[in-house]
Structure 1
Amino acid sequence: MQIIDWIVLLSTLLFIVLYGAWKTKGSKNVKDYIRGGNDAHWWTIGLSVMATQASAITFLSAPGQAFHDGMGFVQFYFGVPIAMVVICMIFIPIYHKLNVYTAYEYLESRFDLKTRTLTAILFLIQRGLAAGITIFAPAIILSSVLGWDLTTLNIIIGILVIIYTVSGGTKAVNITQKQQMGIIFIGMLIAFFIIISYLPDGITFSKALDIAGASGKMEVLDFSFDLDNRYTFWSGIIGGTFLALSYFGTDQSQVQRYLTGKSIKESQLGLLFNGLLKVPMQFFILLVGVMVFVFYQFNPSPLNFNPKGKEAVANSQYAKQYTELENQLSDIHNSKEVYINKYLKGSEQEKIDNHSFIQHLNEEDKKTRKAAKELIKKADANVETNDKDYVFIHFILNNLPKGLIGLLLAVILSAAMSSTASELNALASTTVIDLYKRNVKKEKSEQHYVSASKLFTLTWGILAIIVACFANLFDNLIQLVNIIGSIFYGNVLGIFLLAFFIKFVKSNATFIAALITQVSIVLIWYFTIFRLEQMGLKPYISFLWLNLIGCILVMAIAMMIQPIIGSKPKVKTTV
């Protein structure tokens, strides 16, 4: 990195932190600090909702995901627009009518305090882990590629977020996320057009798409009913809808974003804006990864994009074998380039013939890279061999001009900060409103609860940094966050659906069903997915289906045991 890159990077991040702290200093009451004064417009809500979900993991992992596996990952988001409509029709009117600060307040009015507390705790567990990962994700990539100290990076990112989140609460998160999304959109657009401009003369964007299609990277839709296939149309529409309903409808990090709306209409428009833009945005991010793939069809690419991998092998007895694999990859690359040019210039029949050769060479490419991973693992078992998360950052550092490297790094860190800020804000709000205020300190001043919110924001920030410092890279980071969410979200969504629609089910049945379901989902995940993947076997089901299973399970168990345990007259509580 050059001096200009450091100037761009540091000035961008400092502007966000200082601007957010300055614009929102002096929140005096809980409404201002937790609900941002209820004065947010729909575009602020929409961008804030989007920025909360679009963490650094999105901009690091998604291009790498597309580089290796193509555009199919976009199916994961197909359920988002459906979920947005349902939340706008059902969830938002209920939340606004009850004038709640958190999503879990409603559960006490419908069930009781213990059900509210349990659901809040489930949220705190999964979101607390996710907050650490959103810090850890960019830190470990930047540490590996730039040689920066990992622990120091975790602490720096965490402290930057804590400063303005503690200072201004929800309004600070909303205000800074508008700036962050602006930086992110500009940075990704510039990166996209630069990649296109770097392609050889005569390779237009349409020809680049043709090359990607010949390599199997443009297969967007998979209509198979294969349950163990992670990303299909059906897992996206069904499992993705339940995941999005849980995340946007019951996760406080998202609910808190649209509870800041000036009115029901503003909140609804903000979510619909997110629903309309989310799939195209994710499609574009994946397309950037596909264009990086096309770029490397005409330019040399490393055998493994994680620089620590080559470093580990170079200092081991496997160095010669690794060099042979590099030469093998170079030969494959040269042959592929020849057939790609023939494919572009040939007749329809020649296209078909050359397409087969390209596919064969892509398979050889994969085998060579797999063999390299095995050598890296033999050289040093602690080095991460899965390099999906390193693809885009490698391209940025090795190909973008001076100044733009700093801007793209600012994009990655801005995304990390925006998502982490929302999570810390929501974790603190839930801790104060659902646990501290209801179970510990019930009658205190507004200033007391504002101070408590700031203290808990700081506490969760420190915990997130600790989780980040002890985390390990797990296959693909964007999948890890979604796997953690899927283990908890189905259960939480089922509790809310019971509250909304199944009126004969009462608190005790719901509470017992939720406990049974959470244990069951963890066991299902462990034995049908995690353990099999650790053994190198194909899982029985995709993790996305856990959202549907958890939701149906908690509702079915609650409805079955309700007639058995009966119900006592509900004691009214003050929320």
Structure 2
Amino acid sequence: TSDYFRGGGKMLWWMVGATAFMTQFSAWTFTGAAGRAFNDGFVIVILFLANAFGYFMNYMYFAPKFRQLRVVTAIEAIRQRFGKTSEQFFTWAGMPDSLISAGIWLNGLAIFVAAVFNIPMEATIVVTGMVLVLMAVTGGSWAVVASDFMQMLVIMAVTITCAVAAYFHGGGLTNIVANFDGDFMLGNNLNYMSIFILWVVFIFVKQFGVMNNSINAYRYLCAKDSENARKAAGLACILMVVGPLIWFLPPWYVSAFLPEFAEQYTSMGDKAGDAAYLAFVQNVMPAGMVGLLMSAMFAATMSSMDSGLNRNAGIFVMNFYSPILRQNAT
């Protein structure tokens, strides 16, 4: 069970760091987040910088401590500290949330695939879900972490290429910002600066809690030792700082130089702004790049979901099946 659910605690920092980074990445980054970048400029980056802050606190303190728990699932640590009642509460409290989150990711991916390829949403959801289950079940945590690393390479290759193209086509970052449609730093329709500042403060507090709680400690339980866990958190932090500047250059370019692009995507209705990244690829990049972008979107969604599947399976087996249904199971 330790090998299957956490790689036996033998994984190196670059693998753990990649999977920690990818679990915060989904197709929403290319759709909803890109749409916010198109409409409101820099504001969306703050959410990702809050993620980076969470990973930085992992690096400073929490990641080594999580690794030193020496458990297979984080819920086991809750049982050791707070007892069996709390163990069962957290076992069942987290499952619905993660299932709904996965459904939202799949739905977002399916909407985008339907807009690009006219493939029915149901087909995308069912096929992608089956592939994910097959991979996670047959390979366990090693398959999940290895695929996350490969998916990160696909995503970074596509996004860096698009960012470089946007930079040069737009005449540099300063020119893109100067031509941005609206207020680049604070976004559009902002009525009260005090509320915006309050939101920034609380989003940092929220993401600190999300990144540093024991439920999400599972990503560091895989690490070989405390030092590898710390390095993994550092890698995820660096990627989360650099990433948004790469991901959102194309939507900023579209806002500056292709503001009427939504007319191409009338089938998406009032969500046409979410196709800003796709519009950049279709209008600026060479033929064939759309296929690579779709590969990146599938990779982004699958990397979040396979980690969640493996974690939930581990929690179900180690914290419900084994202690309650079959206490003497081998």
TM-score, normalised to structure 1, is: 0.53
The offset of 1:31, in angstroms, is: 1.4
Q: Which residue of 1 aligns with 2:165?
A: 194
Q: What is the distance in 2 between the residues matched to 1:149 and 1:114?
A: 44
Of structures 1 and 2, the larger Rg is shown by 1
Residue 390 of structure 1 aligns with an amino acid whose one-letter code is A
Q: What is the distance in 1 between the residues matched to 2:274 and 2:215?
A: 26
Q: Which residue of 1 aligns with 2:224?
A: 262
Q: What is the distance in 2 between the residues matched to 1:174 and 1:61?
A: 26
Relative to structure 1, is the Cα distance of residues 439 and 225 closer, same or farther in structure 2, using a 3 angstrom cutoff? Answer: farther
Q: Kindly, what percent of the aligned residue pairs are identical?
A: 23
Relative to structure 1, is the Cα distance of residues 237 and 183 closer, same or farther in structure 2, using a 3 angstrom cutoff? Answer: same
Could you say which structure has the greater relative contact order, defined with CA pairs below 8 angstroms and 6 or more residues apart?
A: 2
Q: What is the distance in 1 between the residues matched to 2:109 and 2:248?
A: 18
Contact 1:79/1:238 (8 A) holds in 2:
no
Contact 2:262/2:272 (8 A) holds in 1:
no
Q: Which residue of 2 aligns with 1:289?
A: 251
Q: Which residue of 1 aligns with 2:2?
A: 31
Q: Which residue of 2 aligns with 1:431?
A: 316
Q: What is the distance in 2 between the residues matched to 1:294 and 1:178?
A: 33
Q: Which residue of 2 aligns with 1:400?
A: 285
Q: What is the distance in 2 between the residues matched to 1:66 and 1:95?
A: 34
Q: Which residue of 1 aligns with 2:70?
A: 99
Q: Which residue of 1 aligns with 2:233?
A: 271
Q: Which residue of 2 aligns with 1:301?
A: 261
Relative to structure 1, is the Cα distance of residues 90 and 102 closer, same or farther in structure 2, using a 3 angstrom cutoff? Answer: farther
SS in 2 for 1:104: helix
Contact 2:266/2:272 (8 A) holds in 1:
no
The offset of 1:83, in angstroms, is: 2.8
The offset of 1:184, in angstroms, is: 0.4
Residue 415 of structure 1 aligns with an amino acid whose one-letter code is A
The offset of 1:441, in angstroms, is: 1.5
The offset of 1:177, in angstroms, is: 1.0
Q: Which runs of 5+ in 2 are unaligned?
A: none
Contact 2:13/2:223 (8 A) holds in 1:
yes
Deviations 1:350-396 (A, max 9, x none): xxxxxxxxxxxxxxxxxxxxxxxxxxxxxxxxxx5233322222333
Matched, 1:240 2:211: no
Deviations 1:525-570 (A, max 9, x none): xxxxxxxxxxxxxxxxxxxxxxxxxxxxxxxxxxxxxxxxxxxxxx
Size of the aligned set, in residue pairs, is 327
Given candidates 160, 172, 194, the residue that maps to 1:225 is 194
Q: What is the distance in 2 between the residues matched to 1:431 and 1:267?
A: 24
SS in 1 for 2:72: coil
Matched, 1:409 2:288: no
Q: How does 1:71-470 map to 2 (within 5 A)?
A: 71-88=42-59, 91-199=62-170, 203-212=171-180, 215-219=182-186, 224-226=193-195, 232-252=196-216, 255-297=217-259, 300-303=260-263, 306-308=265-267, 384-445=269-330
Q: What is the distance in 2 between the residues matched to 1:179 and 1:68?
A: 31
Contact 2:67/2:220 (8 A) holds in 1:
no
Q: What is the distance in 1 between the residues matched to 2:159 and 2:56?
A: 28
SS in 1 for 2:262: coil
Computed over aligned residues only, the root mean square deviation of the Cα atoms, in angstroms, reads 2.4
Q: What is the distance in 2 between the residues matched to 1:80 and 1:92?
A: 15
Relative to structure 1, is the Cα distance of residues 85 and 404 closer, same or farther in structure 2, using a 3 angstrom cutoff? Answer: closer
SS in 1 for 2:213: helix
Q: Which runs of 5+ in 1 are unaligned?
A: 1-29, 227-231, 310-383, 446-575
The offset of 1:272, in angstroms, is: 2.0
SS in 1 for 2:261: coil
The offset of 1:168, in angstroms, is: 0.9
Q: What is the distance in 2 between the residues matched to 1:105 and 1:400?
A: 49
